Structure 1
């Protein structure tokens, strides 16, 4: 898990944390499956007023699904943790079997919402029909989508999705979930590789806007 945030250079948040707790919108802890002692903060450059950094924490395999909007960061030299708002996030389970993989270029970062097209092939060579798509992210919805093909050789899945974004966030991280119906009529689900929308680069105005949220 990687969270982007901004704070003044002298802020105590830039210390060496020993633990992080995810908080729901009411400030209550959520069961997240975070590994004990697996948290770190990487500080970036300062523009003189604020510094942008990343809070990185490791999730254990099979972590439960959870939604959160804040983090409680614990430090060895502080009696009280530091609490920060981080926007709206949702952790979803990664237990779905891998059904499709990209067979053409797959973008990992987009500057904004709009139309995204991907071409997918079957991992095991078996045919499957796409019957639904979910963004797997708070603040990003699907305005329209279309799909053709079954994923087998010579008939790749051509999936097109029109995304609509909530303007209240600077960055969205998506791990799209695709519902399919296989050749035996069974309905299954698979996830695609994650990608980001927004903030393909950071200017001073971006840093100040993030800090002001």
Structure 2
């Protein structure tokens, strides 16, 4: 279980909204649309039922939200066409339509996010090729760096300094994480990229592909 579930849910409302909106094929309102309430409940269920054997948390929660909304559509009186004719066939067609649209929308949003991420990296003098070269090869190192970036992404003072100077405040991060300056400096570019992803709500799809384990002591 995560330490502060309400805070975690609040931090990921944009992620929940994007998933629900892409499935519903329209803009949604938190005040007026039951679909968003349903999606938020599903996200909370994903937190309750997740374990690391199920892979990436955000991929898992996306599946839970999707399945919950499809079931909601099937049962909702607002979608009476679902009950016309052969229910199994219509439900299958609905699922196929939703899945096709979702894939198209996710690809579109993902492309936009990648372009935005590339632009942000350039502000720090980093390119995608730099990240390929400076990425850790070992899983343990990657997880260690994600944990460091996750802690930093919650420290507003460090984020403000990073954004203002475009330089990683290494000493502050060492104090926060108990890591050595040599370790932080070695992975400087990779850490900046991770921190940008984890702290920017406009990069939710990219964030969903990071191997973040809900429930870790640092999470």
TM over 0.5: no
- TM-score, length-normalised on structure 2? 0.25
TM-score between both structures, scaled by the size of structure 1: 0.26
| Structure of greater relative contact order (alpha carbons < 8 Å, 6+ residues apart) | 2
